[in-house]
Amino acid sequence: MNTIIIYRSKTGFTKKYALWLKEDLACDCVPYEERGTVDFEKYQTIAFGSGCYIGKINKLSWLKKQLPRLRGKKIAVFFTGAMEPDAPDVRRLERENFTPGELERIRPFYLQGGLNYAAMNPIDRFLMAGFHKMLRAHADSAKERVMLQNLQESFDKTDRESLRPLEEYLKQ
């Protein structure tokens, strides 16, 4: 299986999943910063992983620009975030980050990561503080109060077992 994983990780969750994939699939894996060294001709399957920030899959635009060169190849995108896998926002993120035509070529997979305040840059911590403050002012439902509680401190919800659907897709 000629597969490569290219990943962009700001706080470590996407990297953790990428390295698990590398181990499970015995494939090549490179960080986004080394993407220029990748010879796509060598690979039949490409998986791109990144975190989701403010409704956008980070660096997804780079992968989309590669699509003309990737004709005939299997392409998957795995994206991580702090929300639960069954949250309605996961489907919204897919609709907002991919056109219907792109979804014919790219298969998206959401993997729950978490929050790592220690690894965030000052701007991301500032944005999270603003989101926390806004949520606190409007946390009317039980679900919103649970979300508010979950944002209080760092947490890691990565789960190697959640990679199974993505791994099965990549192996097909």
Percent of the chain at pLDDT > 70 equals 89
Q: Dihedral angle at the C-alpha atoms of 19, 171, 169, 7, nearest 10 degrees?
A: 30
Are residues 56 and 139 located together in one domain of the fold?
no
Q: 35 vs 149, which has greater pLDDT?
A: 35
CA dist., res. 124 & res. 103, Å (int):
29
Are residues 68 and 16 located together in one domain of the fold?
yes
Picking from 41-45, 67-71, 89-93, 147-151, which range would have the lowest pLDDT averaged per residue? 147-151
Are residues 60 and 129 located together in one domain of the fold?
no
Q: How many domains does the chain have?
A: 2
Are residues 84 and 96 located together in one domain of the fold?
yes
Are residues 82 and 130 located together in one domain of the fold?
no
- Max mean pLDDT range (23-27, 54-58, 128-132): 23-27
pLDDT higher than threshold 80 for residue 142: no
pLDDT higher than threshold 70 for residue 72: yes
Domain containing residue 129: 117-153
pLDDT higher than threshold 90 for residue 74: yes
